[in-house]
Amino acid sequence: MMKSSKKLTALLLAGLMMTTAACGTKNEPAQGSGSSKGEATITKTAKGFGGDVTVTVNFDKDGKLTSVEAAGDEETPTIGGQAIQELPAKIVDAGSTDVDGVAGATITSTAIKTAVQEAIDEYNGTSAEIPAAKMKAGTYTVTASGFSLLKEMEVAVTVSEDKIENIEVLDNGDTYPFLEAAKEKLIPRILENQSVTVDSITGCTGSSTGIKQATEKAVAQALAEGGSEAAAIKNFYKTPAKSTEQETIDVDVLVVGLGGSGTAAAMSAAETQYAANGNDASKVSVLAIDKAGKYGGTSCITADTMGINAPEYDKTYHGGKDYVDAEAMKEDWNNFTKGDAKQDLLDLFFDESGKTVDWLISHGFDYGKGSPEGEGYQYGGPQRGFTDEDIWFVKFQYTGQGYGNWKKETGEMFDSMIADYEKAGGQYMLEVEAKELIYDKDTNTVTGVKAERYDGKQYTINAKKVIIGTGGFSNNAALQEKYLSNQYYPLQGSWLMYGMQQNDGTMIGSALDLGAGTYNIGMPPMVHLQGAPITLHEYPVEVVGDENDVGFWTQLPRRNSLNDFPNALASAAYALQVNMKGERFSNEAGTFQTWKSGPRYYTIWSDDFFRNVEKNGLPVSFNDDLTCQGGIDAGKPLPVDELIDLCVKKGIAYKADTLEDLAKQLNLDPAVLKDNVDRYNAAVEAGKDEEFGKAADFLTMKIGEEGPYYAFVGASYIYSTVGGLDVNTDMQVLGSDNATPINGLYAVGTDSLGVLFSEQREYVTYGGAAQGWAYTSGRLAGISAVNSLGE
């Protein structure tokens, strides 16, 4: 969810804002008009970070700007959302678009300012003529921010006098499978269309943005050195025309989604049909599609797979002995989920997940040999889970996890499986989005999907069997608001996500529309991360490590940044956390606990803490090179007042002289907040937490008796939703009666993961459960779909 800053040079910003420079009159009637044009409302759209940004601009009778509203559903809430929230007011206050953009949200800021300026120009009846473009030929090496928060992307752009000739990514901190897909697909489109505003590659938005920004910077520099006006950059703002082509495709099995579950389903279906037809690939009729520009989805950047006693693996590396007592673990699982899991599906998972690990290995996945003791990242193999209670060795670690470019190695495992899939006769199409299921109500049968390619081409894909594995609905606020609710926890609201933006629940929604049933759809989403609800970009990222001091996830020399100040406070295990009612809700030092407050929570502080930090720095280092900008080392004096003021201005921190006033700012009952602060302070003084069992080592920060007092907003970031559609042991989707299958429709992976869980509890901490279900359910669905083709 958190993406990198989008900084551009002053030269490029001049080019981006060429409409402002071209129009001398912005909020006044056109010169020479003689009279005002009167009140008006004008709507304009420009290309933002993830998609279109639309602005609505209102003028009063004198032609003054009275309001600007901006909307962009595809912009990331943590970055682009800041520009959408903050920038319109700045424009209205200034009466023009000649204002600074929001730090870190350059592309969204530029889209808003460009669209507003177009509205102003239309109101005034003026237009800026695009000057001719002449570049100084050569190769320009520039940097821009892609997905990585820690390292900028270095790109070499070669131009002639009037054309972008070549783009090469030289160095970067981005993730292998995403960057490779962006390079493979985006660069040719930029060159073909001679445009830096072509659509980003879905699923690779951060890397795409880095390439586009770098190209734009290089072109702006070449134009300036060629003597062109800054506004000439607009010659390279072109939107390719949408295709009007239509095509009908007929297949036996269609798989929608090529993440872990979809890839497994497609592979399984293809090899089953291949074997059934005498190993004749020409008789295999399996097609897989994905909205993204890459296969693998979230699964290609995960670290492990749950497998319970993989027979062949055990035989090869463990003397044929089981790693775990499966029945004892199943009892533990049922105790955790309070018996709410569907027992036939849980039994199936326990019986088949180990076989699935063996199957994955046969298609190129590598889990290593396992350590003699059964754990250790360097060995791979089954590990224990995330907490002391997770004693079961079922988390199969990918080889190299935590060392070197392990994400590249995981991506290459998917390359291997897709190669096997194609050898068996399977086919796939990327950047093709399934829009809706085709359903025959009379026979209660799904017969295919309507789909659309990135360029607008329309598909009708008729299929005898449709398997959906689309990653849940974590990027669909409407579905979250509707379904993430239960009687046990305050789940309602829109959760932020760290994961695949394409997981928007379109197919789940389509299945629900035609009468599909659900199972535990209201259970808590999968939360492994927490931090501030927005990403700051006002401060630099500084390298503080060397080749011997590197980040665990990136293997880059370790970084620090003051931008991570609100993340450190939101994640502090030694802090008091309260929910949106002002109540303490969990052990703040526990594993994956912030979800219990719902999408947001607060950490509470008193001024004495910050005066100490001002002199002596944070008491504990905050180090995170996965979602943040490196963290902040302990013991470094910090400019706390400057940082607090920035966070207050951004709306992610609050300050008040008394606890009562702080509670009022947060819309909390002052008595409730005071009572919870008092009880927490008592636990700190006693060195014992009777309510939630927080260890004494973390009971170190008492809330002082004197103000000011502070609250920092924390957010739980979800990888995915967990609850979903109801399925039977063949992975067929069941109807609203939770008994009758919808013919021809199967759901795998996160789209049906809820069958293993409970709305009374969160996602388990055994390790790799979602991935284990993704691969296992996908493999079984592929077999079931092919074997039922004659029915």
Residue spans of beta strands (DSSP E) within 271-385: 286-290, 304-306, 381-383
Q: Which two tokens stand for residue 520?
A: 């535990």
Hey, what long-range contacts does 417-423 have (CB within 8 A, 24 or more apart)? 417/263, 417/267, 417/360, 417/363, 417/364, 417/365, 418/263, 418/295, 419/364, 420/267, 420/271, 420/363, 420/364, 421/263, 421/266, 421/267, 421/270, 421/288, 423/281
The answer to whether residue 516 sits within a structural domain is: yes
- pLDDT, position 373: 52
The answer to whether residue 130 sits within a structural domain is: no
What percentage of the chain exceeds 70 in pLDDT? 92
How much is the average pLDDT of 72-96? 82
> Cα dihedral angle (109, 115, 120, 123), rounded to 10 degrees?
-160
What span, in angstroms and rounded, lies between the C-alpha atoms of 321 and 310? 10
Q: Using the predicted structure, report yes or no on whether residue 35 has a pLDDT greater than 70.
A: no
Same domain, 433 and 344: yes
Q: Which two tokens stand for residue 360?
A: 């994955």
Average the pLDDT over each of 105-114, 282-291, 583-592 and give the range with the smallest value. Answer: 105-114
pLDDT digits (tens, 9 = 90+) for 716-734: 999 899 999 999 999 999 9
**CATH code assigned at 414:** 3.50.50.60
How much is the average pLDDT of 145-155? 84
- pLDDT, position 229: 92
How much is the average pLDDT of 695-702? 96
What residues are paired with 578 via a beta bridge? 584, 602
Average pLDDT, the chain: 89
Same domain, 372 and 451: yes
- pLDDT, position 709: 98
- pLDDT, position 7: 27
Average the pLDDT over each of 220-224, 407-411, 627-631 and give the range with the smallest value. Answer: 407-411
CA–CA distance from 340 to each of 399, 608, 760 (Å)? 34, 47, 8
The answer to whether residue 18 sits within a structural domain is: no
- Determine whether 304 is exposed, middle or buried from the number of CB atoms within 10 Å of its CB (0-12, 13-18, 19+): buried
- pLDDT, position 400: 53
Q: Using the predicted structure, report yes or no on whether residue 51 has a pLDDT greater than 70.
A: yes
Give the model's confidence band at 13: pLDDT under 50 very low, under 70 low, under 90 confident, else very high. very low
The model's pTM is: 0.87
How much is the average pLDDT of 625-637? 88
Same domain, 114 and 215: no
Same domain, 193 and 298: no
Which of 181, 212, 236 lies at the terminal end of a domain, its last residue?
Answer: 236
pLDDT digits (tens, 9 = 90+) for 229-244: 998 999 999 888 999 9
Which of 66, 95, 124 lies at the terminal end of a domain, its last residue?
Answer: 124
Peptide bond into 741 cis (omega under 30): no
- pLDDT, position 673: 98
Outline where 484-519 has alpha helix (H).
Answer: 506-513
**CATH code assigned at 55:** 3.90.1010.20
Query: What is the phi-psi region of residue 360: left when phi exceeds 0, alpha when psi lies from -120 to 50, beta otherwise?
Result: alpha
Same domain, 675 and 778: no
Same domain, 156 and 261: no
Same domain, 635 and 686: yes
Closest CA to 765 of 573, 592, 607: 592
Give the model's confidence band at 575: pLDDT under 50 very low, under 70 low, under 90 confident, else very high. very high
- pLDDT, position 380: 64
Q: Using the predicted structure, report yes or no on whether residue 404 has a pLDDT greater than 60.
A: no
- pLDDT, position 406: 60
Average the pLDDT over each of 353-367, 488-502, 526-540, 576-590 and give the range with the smallest value. Answer: 488-502
Same domain, 164 and 187: yes
- pLDDT, position 748: 98
How much is the average pLDDT of 350-358? 98
Question: Is residue 473 within 8 Å of residue 499, measured between CB atoms?
Answer: no
343 or 129: which leads in pLDDT: 343
The answer to whether residue 5 sits within a structural domain is: no
What 3-state DSSP class applies to 451?
Answer: strand
pLDDT digits (tens, 9 = 90+) for 725-768: 999 999 999 999 999 999 999 999 999 999 999 999 999 999 99
Question: Is residue 711 within 8 Å of residue 604, measured between CB atoms?
Answer: yes
The answer to whether residue 55 sits within a structural domain is: yes
Q: Using the predicted structure, report yes or no on whether residue 175 has a pLDDT greater than 60.
A: yes
The answer to whether residue 782 sits within a structural domain is: yes
The answer to whether residue 1 sits within a structural domain is: no
How much is the average pLDDT of 698-717? 96
- pLDDT, position 493: 85
Average the pLDDT over each of 306-310, 501-505, 575-579 and give the range with the smallest value. Answer: 501-505
Same domain, 108 and 163: no
Same domain, 484 and 546: no
Q: Using the predicted structure, report yes or no on whether residue 9 has a pLDDT greater than 80.
A: no
Which H, E and C letters describe 183-234, residue by residue? HHHHHHHHHHHCCCCCCCCCCCHHHHHHHHHHHHHHHHHHHHHCCCCHHHHH
Same domain, 159 and 80: no
**CATH code assigned at 596:** 3.90.700.10
- pLDDT, position 128: 67
Which of 179, 212, 236 lies at the terminal end of a domain, its last residue?
Answer: 236
Q: Tell me the DSSP string of 557-588.
A: BPEE-GGGHHHHHHH-TTSEEE-TTS-B-S-T
Q: Using the predicted structure, report yes or no on whether residue 30 has a pLDDT greater than 70.
A: no
The answer to whether residue 358 sits within a structural domain is: yes
508 or 81: which leads in pLDDT: 508
- pLDDT, position 711: 98
Give the model's confidence band at 370: pLDDT under 50 very low, under 70 low, under 90 confident, else very high. low
Average the pLDDT over each of 28-37, 492-501, 504-513 and give the range with the smallest value. Answer: 28-37
The residue range of the domain holding 664 is 526-719
Same domain, 709 and 760: no
What span, in angstroms and rounded, lies between the C-alpha atoms of 730 and 785? 8
What span, in angstroms and rounded, lies between the C-alpha atoms of 36 and 56? 20
Q: Using the predicted structure, report yes or no on whether residue 178 has a pLDDT greater than 60.
A: yes
Q: Using the predicted structure, report yes or no on whether residue 470 has a pLDDT greater than 50.
A: yes
What span, in angstroms and rounded, lies between the C-alpha atoms of 684 and 711? 19
496-497 vs 576-578, strand pairing mode: unpaired
- State how many domains the chain has: 4
What residues are paired with 57 via a beta bridge? 42, 68
